[in-house]
Amino acid sequence: MSIADKLIQSRQWMMEGWSPSEPAHTEEEGGCGVTGFACSIPVGGKHIYEPSVQMHNRGNGKGGGIAAVGLVPEQMGVTREILDNDYILQIALLDPKCLNTVEAEFVTPMFDVHHSQSVPHVEDYREIDGLDVRPPDIQRYFVKPKKDVLAKFAQERGLVGLGERDIEEEFMYQNAFALNTQYYAALGDKQAFVMSQGRNMIILKIVGYAELIVNYYQLDDFKAHVWIAHQRYPTRGRVWHPGGAHPFCGMNEALVHNGDFANYYSVCEYLAQRNIKPLFLTDTEVSILVFDLWNRVYKYPLEYIIEGLAPTSERDFDMLPKEKQEVYRRIQQGHIHASPDGPWFFIIARNDVENDAFQLLGITDTAMLRPQVFALQDGEVQIGLVCSEKQAIDATLASLACEDSRFCTVADDYWNARGGSYTDGGSFMFTVKHQGDGTYKLNCTDKFGRERRAKSREQRTGDPVELASAVQGISSALTDVSGWSLFQVLRSASAGMSLEDFKAFCTRVAESAKTDPERAAAINAFTLMIDRRYQTGPNQRGRIVEAVNKALAAVLGGVPSITGEAASKYARIDWETRGMLRAPNGLEEVLVVNGHDFPPEGDECDARVVYEAYELGWKQFICHGYVGQRFLGVGLGPDSQGCVIDAYDSTGDYLASGLDGATVTVHGNAQDQLAQIMREGRLVVHGDVGQTFMYGAKGGTVYVKGNAAGRPLINSVGRPRVTINGTCLDFLAESFMAGDPLNGGGFVILNGVRLDEDGSVIDLDTPYSGSNLFSLASGGAIYVRDPHMTLDNEQLNGGEYYELTDADWQLIKPYLEENEQLFDIPVSRLLTVDGTEMDPSKIYRKVAPAQKKVAAAAATAADDDVMNNDEESDE
């Protein structure tokens, strides 16, 4: 009998009382906010605090949890040896009185306890704002199962012959199951449950927002390599214990989940066939049970586990190498019933004991129905991050950088993933590997084990630039209001100065910008520094941008406050002064909104200030300091032409949704649901855009420097004209209904390029790797730059490839020229392949609806305007 069979058989007793006809009802929940990071050095719990706060509006304060992996022996009160080898059994006591009986039944007789403690916490939970339900007392034990107990267990359960660790872990698992059954899942009061029991890792959860755990259990300086947190959104109103909160523990891993399954019962059935019974009745619990089964029982490598969870299908499957197809086909045949169906996104923190490494994993569902952002920062210390929203990543980095200058507030790379894709598998893992000398190094790999590096830093130093002489040139550079002269100076400084000098230089520039024209020059130049790519010599781009951000904030912070007399072209408003909003007077033209302290939505949010200011007559806005505030540019109403908004930092969801005339520019990456139902106006994004970009849009001119995530321009109608320079994950322009582009309708230009850190244009392997392009579309077109003809018919469903005509080229050319102006992506470069400039028709292909008989109504009804006729008949 195989090890797997033995383990499964040993669990037969656990299925007692399970009935296939009466599946337990799942605890209902929607999505949530998840965040996590892995770091080459252990860092304090306070750094999971900030990103958790940023995820507030993704939870409802009725469940929060965190996990920490890769701990520090001293703070745990044990030796390194015990920390590495023992299981950290943490029992949550919902009823503190049951401690002795639980201990007597499930701890003392089974384990050698090397250390035990009651997890310290703030004395009175009511001292912590927002904590309404007393968190459970937690008893923590460092344990190893007793030798004789283990021998007896192996004997009784038929596990003799398995490795010692295998038996040990199975013992831990079954013992926890027994405890949970008796004290949690059985009828009657819920009294206690095992919160976690892995090695060198802990899980804590409460009824409340996740960050309150840091407060309550006093984890500010409690250090770990990997942290994950979860804000839960249970739909029930009343929750009195955190049993259903995330993370859930497997053996040495903790899993948090955003989404919910359509096939909970099917997965439960699959598990039941393998003698596994869920006790907590949430999707998340069954997810970790599946993971644990594949990991510990079937001993699948991580790649296969990911394949099992997010299977590669259709065209993606066809694109895989033969040998992978064979393995994957087997995995799918065996385990498709355990593959979660519906929207989900997992973050897993794990102690990879076998490889002496700690790991953080993000796995995306195959339809990318949940938002997710990955990020990586290299340097003296390395950190990998994955979150539901980008601002949580930036909040983590800001928190870390504040404490330790080795961290930078800007990551080197941010990206999304497509679940089940042949390119990266939709999953990335950050592995913190012990180097043997007590230090750790972090690397990032995708599902297939391919490493993803933060951009390799060019060591080429630019021509040296002297700080002193550069400072002398500031005042003359500031006379060019366009900022272009100053940008040139800053750019060469970034490559030719040390980082320290560059920072000092930026500070001096900010200090020198005193008059309005100088301010304009500085703002424009700093903006170009943020938007553009250029050689930064030995300096990391993230560091340069960090310095520029800081200097820009200083310039913007230096303009007169709205509370004073109108004295400048600029006026500044922030959370403190929001009540003083007034119409622009005298010279005033530009309202600088510092969004930092505003709530992300609701009647008090910054986007409302912008909208009210617009009503009062303000037309130009510089909005900065964002940490995920939503709805910027929303609510301006129709005909908002002439209104111009420039947005900096981590802008939030729904930006520019409903835009109808105004111009919005995002200097950096943007988030989800951008420009939904947009009708007129202009949107420029100097970075990537997130999920459902321009869903249901009706028009507008839009330029995106980078990529779009899943489902861009879905259900879009009318005449949107969109240029995307990177790629899109999948479902681009599904149900596109944008007329005939050559006759006033809409289109998307997809260039399939990226900019490297020097600003050079690099062709992607394919402009579009998704399996669904222009599906079910009835109007509009996609002009895709595909000189190597990598796109195939498999990707279409109702569309057709057409050769680019001259009329097509005349249509898109002005947009590409504008694109060149905005992003420095030359049209001539786009037309160049392998060093040769070619005719546009050899470079671009047109995807448009397949020719078919035009529906009869279009022809016959063309002369009938129902609404007008009807009006006439009433008169």
Partner 1 sequence: MAITVDPHRPIRPDHDLGLSVPKREVKPAPDRWRNQLGKYRVWRYEELCKKCGKCAEICPNGVHVRPEGYAGFVRPLESKCTAETCKKNGTYCVDNCPQKALRTEVLPLYKSLGDFRWTADLILSTWHMAETGELPEGELESEVGNSGGGFDKIRFKFPENGQRTNPDEISTAIPLNRREDGRPKITIDLPVYGGGMSFGSVSPVTILSKARAATAWNIFSCTGEGGYIDRLIPYKDHMITQVATGLFGVREETIRRARIVEFKYAQGAKPGLGGHLLGDKNTPAVAAMRGAVPGTSLFSPFPFHSVYSIEDHKKHVDWIRHVNPRALVSAKVSTPIDVDMVAVGSYFAGANIVHLDGSYGGTGAAPDIAKKNIAMPIEYAIPKVARFLVEEGIRDEVTLIVSGGIRTPWDMAKAIALGADGVVIGTPEMVALGCIRCGKCESGKGCARGIATTDAEMVKKMDIEWGTQRLINMLHAWRLQLVDILSRFGMSDVKELRGRTDLLRHLDYEEA
Report 195-234 residues binding partner 1 (CB under 8 A). Answer: 233
DSSP structure class, residue 777: -
Which of 483/741 has CB closer to partner 1?
A: 741
CB of 197 to partner 1, least distance (A): 30
22 sits near partner 1 (criterion: CB under 8 A): no
Q: Residue 318 interacts with partner 1 (CB under 8 A)?
A: no
Which 339-378 positions form the footprint of partner 1 (CB under 8 A)? Answer: 343, 369-370
Task: State how far the Cα of 95 lies from the Cα of 190, in Å rounded to an integer.
Answer: 8
Question: Is residue 52 at the binding interface for partner 1, with CB under 8 A as the rule?
Answer: no
Residue type, 540: Q
Stretch that binds partner 1, among 78-86, 290-298, 813-821, 853-861 (CB under 8 A): 853-861
Among 468, 762, 807, 862, binds partner 1 (CB under 8 A): 862
- Is the distance from CB of 764 to CB of 754 less than 8 angstroms? yes
In angstroms, give the least distance from the CB of 550 to partner 1. Answer: 30
Q: How far is the CB of 354 from partner 1 (least distance, A)?
A: 35
Number of residues that bind partner 1 (CB under 8 A): 87
Chain-centre distance of CA 655, in angstroms? 17
Nearer to partner 1, 362 or 658 (CB): 658
Q: How far is the CB of 770 from partner 1 (least distance, A)?
A: 15
Residue with smaller CB distance to partner 1, 237 or 436:
237
Site for partner 1 contains 53 (CB under 8 A): no
468 vs 743: CA distance, rounded Å? 58
Residue 864 binding partner 1, by CB under 8 A: yes
- The rounded distance, in Å, linking the Cα atoms of 762 and 725 is 11
Rank residues 287 and 692 by Cβ distance to partner 1 and give the closer one: 692
**One of 245, 607, 662, 830 touching partner 1 (CB under 8 A):** 607
Residue 32 near partner 1 by CB under 8 A: yes
Site for partner 1 in 720-749 (CB under 8 A): 734-735, 737-740, 744-745
Q: Based on CB atoms, which residue is closest to partner 1, 236 or 460?
A: 236
Rg of the chain on CA atoms, in Å = 29
Q: Does 865 contact partner 1 by CB under 8 A?
A: yes
Considering only residues 238 through 257, tell me which ones interact with partner 1, judged by CB under 8 A. 238
SS3 for 33-95 is: EEEEEEEEEEEECHHHHHHHHHCHHHCCCCCEEEEEEEECHHHHCCCHHHHHHCEEEEEEECC
Contacts 24+ apart (CB under 8 A), 811-817: 811/741, 811/742, 811/747, 812/747, 812/749, 812/783, 812/844, 813/840, 815/701, 815/703, 815/721, 815/723, 815/749, 816/723, 816/749
Cα distances from 532 to residues 461, 522, 623, 685, 863, in angstroms, run 19, 15, 19, 12, 51
Binding residues among 771-830 for partner 1 as defined by CB under 8 A: 776, 778-779
Helices and strands per DSSP (H, E), number in the chain:
26, 33
Q: Can you tell me the distance from the alpha carbon of 834 to that of 216, in angstroms, rounded to the nearest whole number? A: 60
Nearest alpha-carbon partner for 37 in 413, 462, 386: 386
With binding defined as CB under 8 A, does residue 500 bind partner 1? no
Q: Which residues contact 87 (CB under 8 A, 6 or more apart)?
A: 142, 143, 144, 172, 197, 198, 199
* Strand pairing report for 373-377 and 357-364: unpaired
The span from the CA of 514 to the CA of 647, in Å, is 22
Among 96, 617, 638, 642, binds partner 1 (CB under 8 A): 638
What's CA 706's distance to the chain center, in Å? 16
Of 36 and 384, the one with the shorter C-beta distance to partner 1 is: 36
Query: Hey, is 184 helix, strand or coil?
Result: helix
Tell me the helix, strand and coil percentages in the chain, rounded to 5. Answer: 35, 25, 40
* Residue 327 binds partner 1, judged by CB under 8 A: no
Tell me if 472 contacts partner 1 by CB under 8 A: no
In angstroms, what is the minimal distance from the CB of 356 to partner 1?
Answer: 37
Choosing from 35, 40, 52, 57, the residue that interacts with partner 1 (CB under 8 A) is: 57
Q: Does 861 bind partner 1 (CB under 8 A)?
A: yes
Q: How far apart are CA 806 and CA 804, in angstroms?
A: 7
Contact between 235 and partner 1 by CB under 8 A: the answer reads: yes
Instruction: Report if residue 603 touches partner 1, rule: CB under 8 A.
Output: yes
CB nearer to partner 1: pick between 132 and 839: 132
Q: Which CB sits closer to partner 1, 170 or 601?
A: 601
* Contact positions with partner 1 (CB under 8 A) in 678-707: 679, 691-692, 695-696, 698-699
Q: Which of 6, 10, 33, 700 binds partner 1 (CB under 8 A)?
A: 33
Nearest distance in Å: CB 768, partner 1: 18
Handedness of CA 459, 463, 469, 472 (dihedral sign): negative
Least distance in angstroms from the C-beta of 232 to partner 1: 10
- Report whether 751 contacts 704 (CB < 8 A): no
Binding to partner 1, residues 645-664 (CB under 8 A): 653-654, 657-658, 660
What is the smallest separation between the CB atom of 365 and partner 1, expressed in angstroms?
Answer: 10
Question: Per rule CB under 8 A, is residue 28 in the interface with partner 1?
Answer: yes
Q: How far is the CB of 660 from partner 1 (least distance, A)?
A: 6
